[in-house]
Structures are given as C-alpha cells and as structure tokens.
Amino acid sequence: MLWWGPAVDNVVLGVCGSVAAYRAADLARELMRRGCTVRVCLTESAEKFVTRALFEALTGQPCLIGAFEEPESGRMAHIDWARQAGLLLIAPATANTIARLAAGVADDMLTTIASAYTGRMLIAPAMNPSMYASPALREALATLASRGAEIVEPAEGDVACGEQGQGKLASVERIAGVASVVLSASHALSGKKVLITSGPTREPIDSVRFVSNRSSGKMGSALARAALMMGADVTVVSGPSSAPLPIGATIVRVETAEEMLKGALARVKDADLVIGAAAVADYRPASPEKGKIRREAGRIELEMVANPDIIAALASAAKKGARVVGFAAEPGPDGEAARVKLARKGLFAIAVNDVSAPGIGFDADENELTLVRADGGEERSGRRSKLACALWLLEWLGG
Ligand code: PMT
C-alpha cells in the first residue's frame, strides 16, 4: 500500500451520515482533479449511505471507518492521518459530528483523527434547515470557527426532508474552491508579527447611545485567520463586532477610536506588518453626556471633534522596515482618493474596496481589492471570499 507521507495537499475527507454523503464522491474526485491526494474517513452513520469500496475505488487510497482500524499494521492510523494531512475537510458535516467536534469528543475514527489534528480544517454542514438554525448548532459552529476552522455555509434550497431553507450542502465547486484557497496559503509570514485593527469603533453620544458604522469585522477576522495560516504571530485590536476572531490570535477588545489607538500603539513596536482594516469613526461627539439625553427639546445639536488617525500614528511609530498598510473604503471605483490617503498617512500600501458595489465591502462575505503600493504598483484580487482576499493580500505583502 502506498504510504502517502506528509504533504500540504493531502486531504483527509471526513464524511458523515447525511443524504448528501453521496456528493462526497464527486467532491473527492474534484479535489483530486485539483492535485490533492484524498483519503476518506466515514462515520458509521455515513456507511448507511455510502460505502468504503466506493471511496477506495475513487481515491486509490484506504478508507477508515472504525476507531480501531489499522490499514498499516503496527501504526496508529488516527495519529498518522492527523500528522500527514494538509487539510481536514468534513463534508457533509452533520449536527451530531459538529457538536462532538466542538465538545472535543473523540468516540469514533473521524473525531479521533480531528482531536489529534492541529492543521487547517474546513467544515461543510448539511442538514434540515431547522437543525441548522438551532442555537446549539450555531454555538458549536461558532466554537469551531473561533478555533480556526473555516465553515462553508450550506446553500438555500430544497432539502431531502421536503423543507426549504438553508441546509443543503454547498456545491462541490464551492467546497473544493475554498479547500484550494486554504491549501494554497504559503508560510511566508512564519516568524513574523502581524498587528491588525478590525471592526468599527463606537463613539459615545451619552451613556446608552453611540455613533458607529456598518463594519462587521469580517475582513479583519479573515486577515487574522489568513495571517495565522501563513505562520504569523497575530494580534488583533478589534472594535465591537460579532465576527468570530480566531483563537490562535491575541485579541485586544476596544470600543472607541482613542482606545483602539492606545491598544495598537502599545503593540506596534514589535510588528513586522501592520494592517488597518478597522472602520474608525473619523469624528466623535465632543462632550458625551453622562446618563441618558432625555427627549425634551425638539432638536439637539451634537458637536463632533476629529478622532486621531490611527493608521498614520502607527506608520510613524512602527519599527524600521515594518510595512504599514491601510484599507480604503471608497464610495466608487475611482482610486484617486485612496492614493491621496496612502501618501498622507505615510503607508507602504493601501487596499482599496469599493463599498458602493453590491455584495462586497461592509458586512459582506466577499470583497474585491485593489492594492495600491507607495512605489506606484497596483494589483487586483478579483472578487473572492474575504478569506481568499486576505490570503491574496498577505501573499503580496509578506513576499
Ligand atoms: O468589517 P467588514 O464588514 O468586513 O468590512 C470591511 C471594511 C469595508 C470595513 C474594510 O474592508 C475597510 O475598507 N476598512 C477601512 C474602512 C475605512 O475606515 O476606510 P477609510 O478610507 O475611512 O480609512 C483609510 C484607512 O485609515 C483605513 O486603514 C482606516 O483603518 C484608517 N483610519 C481611518 C480613520 C481614522 N481615524 N483612523 C484610521 O486609522
């Protein structure tokens, strides 16, 4: 039997007991078409839908099911597979397996491999829409995401039970596409320290109200995740956001621009790469009220004062040779204003996103970046997931 040896494009494909299990056969073939070596591990429930023989014939590799199986006698398959995989991809992932993974339960071969595995993980859930919406499942997925797993959200549509909604396994092309992105991450940031600002800031009007913006923190979170994948030591100074930040990063939570400035300045001296993805409020109320402003007057006037320019301050304070990079949220495709910001803030480069374009920018799962460098060079990412944009950007900046 071929010994596959550790390699970045080795994929362990975990298949769970779902009607969508049959689609894992196409997924295995698609991953192989993209150059991966694929080994399949079925849960016992998956075996009710698909067979070991199917996957062994398709992949030319052994398939594991039971916790005590040893295709290479004298070796511990769960450790071998965990050590040698460049990606653990679970598709379809059922509610039961997702909950077991989140809880760290290792009671079959797949969850035992997962518990011994420390690398990149991708989870593609498939289930009834009500199960997918259930709080327990959402919490388990959030836990896995916060530990660095990528989730390929299920699609909307008809599911096997006859209901409609979100729960249908994402398309084979989409899952394989995300897997390729995750597998393509280099280790160009190994040993580097990366500091990221992320999310919105909140500037108090009184004790219960604030001025803020539509940043969800997804772009900053994707940058943190991508930098970790590429081997960096990552610190995120994040404004209030519900986007899960990866557990391997140091997270500094702040509310206001002034707190963000303080949090980032305290860490900038160590950083090799600084990225300002935060949507910092440019202005804040000059004198926030203590307590609650009462609805008495017909109108009120708020005096606003300028907030500090955080990324410009970081560019001045960064160590020699560090690259300080901003983002520019532009209300149109013209990059001229971004070039002015790049020069004014003293940056190495600026990543421009057109926040007027539908489906990208604020709160979207995708983005489209133009990287404008101070030396005049310009590169375009094309429209991709925020994670793929982040990897693309970091490959340019880390090289
Ligand atoms: O969080 P998401 O929902 O995923 O959305 C992502 C995003 C659209 C917020 C992100 O991609 C983005 O564009 N971030 C920068 C938003 C912004 O504030 O752009 P700007 O053009 O106003 O600022 C230019 C740069 O200066 C940015 O790096 C910003 O962080 C920085 N800045 C701005 C003002 C200020 N007072 N201090 C700063 O550091």
Judge whether 10-184 and 193-289+303-398 match in fold. yes
- Distance from Cα 159 to the centre of ligand 1, integer Å: 39
Q: What is the mean pLDDT of the chain?
A: 93
10-184 CATH choice from 3.40.50.1950, 3.20.20.70, 2.40.50.140, 3.40.1190.20: 3.40.50.1950
- Distance from Cα 379 to the centre of ligand 1, integer Å: 19
Q: Tell me, what's the pLDDT at 5?
A: 61
Cα–Cα distance for residue pair 11/30, rounded to 1 Å: 12
Which range of 157-171, 191-205, 377-391 scores highest in mean pLDDT? It is 191-205
- DSSP E strand boundaries for 192-259: 193-198, 203-204, 210-211, 233-238, 250-253
Is the peptide bond preceding residue 92 cis, with omega within 30 degrees of 0? yes
Choice from 201, 203, 215 to test ligand 1 binding pocket (greatest atom count within 8 A of CB): 215
Neighbours of 245 (CB within 10 A): 23
**Do 305 and 273 touch, CB atoms closer than 8 A?**
no
pLDDT in tens, 14-51: 999 999 999 999 999 999 999 999 999 999 999 999 99
Task: Give residue 4's pLDDT band: very low, low, confident or very high (50, 70, 90).
Answer: low
Task: Give residue 137's pLDDT band: very low, low, confident or very high (50, 70, 90).
Answer: very high
pLDDT at 357 over 90: yes
Active site residue 161: yes
How many residues in total does the chain contain? 399
Cα–Cα distance for residue pair 372/380, rounded to 1 Å: 9
pLDDT in tens, 66-77: 999 988 887 889
Cα–Cα distance for residue pair 163/178, rounded to 1 Å: 27
193-289+303-398 CATH choice from 3.30.70.1520, 3.40.50.10300, 3.60.70.12, 3.90.79.10: 3.40.50.10300
Cα separation values, 298 from 190, 209, 242, 288, 294, Å: 58, 18, 35, 19, 11
Low-confidence winner among 13-17, 173-177, 252-256, 294-298 (lowest mean pLDDT): 294-298
Q: Tell me, what's the pLDDT at 96?
A: 98
Q: Which residues are annotated as a binding site for CTP?
A: 282, 292, 308-311, 327, 341, 345
pLDDT in tens, 362-378: 999 899 999 999 999 99
Domain boundaries, the chain: 10-184, 193-289+303-398
**Do 99 and 25 touch, CB atoms closer than 8 A?**
no
pLDDT in tens, 150-171: 889 899 988 888 888 999 999 9
Q: Tell me, what's the pLDDT at 7?
A: 66
Choice from 265, 284, 311 to test ligand 1 binding pocket (greatest atom count within 8 A of CB): 311
pLDDT at 300 over 70: yes
Task: Give residue 2's pLDDT band: very low, low, confident or very high (50, 70, 90).
Answer: very low
**Do 347 and 375 touch, CB atoms closer than 8 A?**
no
In this structure, the residues whose C-beta lies within 6 A of any atom of ligand 1 are: 197, 199, 215-219, 257, 276-280, 282, 307, 309-311, 326-329, 341, 353, 355, 361-363
Say which amino acid occupies 181: V
- Distance from Cα 231 to the centre of ligand 1, integer Å: 25
CA nearest to 309, candidates 343, 258, 376: 258
pLDDT at 89 over 60: yes
